[in-house]
Amino acid sequence: MSPQMNNIFAAILIAGLVAMMAGFVSHIVYKPKKLEAEAYPIAALETAPVAGGVAAPATAEPVTDLLATADIAQGEKLFKLCASCHSIDAGGPNRVGPNLSGVMKKGHAQAAGFAYSDAFKAKAGAPWTVEEMNTFLWNPKKAIPGTKMAYAGMKKPEDRAAVIKYLQSK
């Protein structure tokens, strides 16, 4: 081996040792500690524990009692998120999702010309109950496994009650 190759090999070896020692020394100087709790808790979707040991609900909280005081105007405001994929006007077009005009009266998979998933086709004609819509709005993929709807769900029962009351009015 030439002296130049020895110098290159020595430089690489020394650089590796310096990097390793720098990591070792910084670990001693800064003493990293594991957090006792998350700095910013993230709401879990299923039953995974979150900060404080409280588990997220495994099913949607009932909204039947909340419907009496639910605000249709608040439901209309919340529906704007849904309006990115769904129309709600009578005779309105299907979009990425079906037209939802009269959805609470018509039942599952009733928008003409919309290509429903097999999971929805299996429920075609069955009426939407408040409980079913509540569960669907809470977590569509859990309520109807196989749905094409790519929405994570609405977690606040008050919000779901307001949207259901709005849907009932249409």
What are 128-151's pLDDT values in tens digits?
Answer: 999 999 899 999 988 889 888 888
pTM above threshold 0.85? no
Domains and CATH numbers, the chain: 64-169 (1.10.760.10)
Sign of CA dihedral 145, 148, 152, 158: negative
Backbone angles phi and psi of 49, in degrees to 5: -65, 145
Of 27-36, 72-81, 87-96, 99-108, the one with minimum mean pLDDT is 27-36
Look at the chain and count its residues. Answer: 170
Question: Per-residue pLDDT for 49 more than 60?
Answer: no
Residue 95: phi and psi, rounded to 5, are -120, -135
**pLDDT score of 46 more than 70:** no
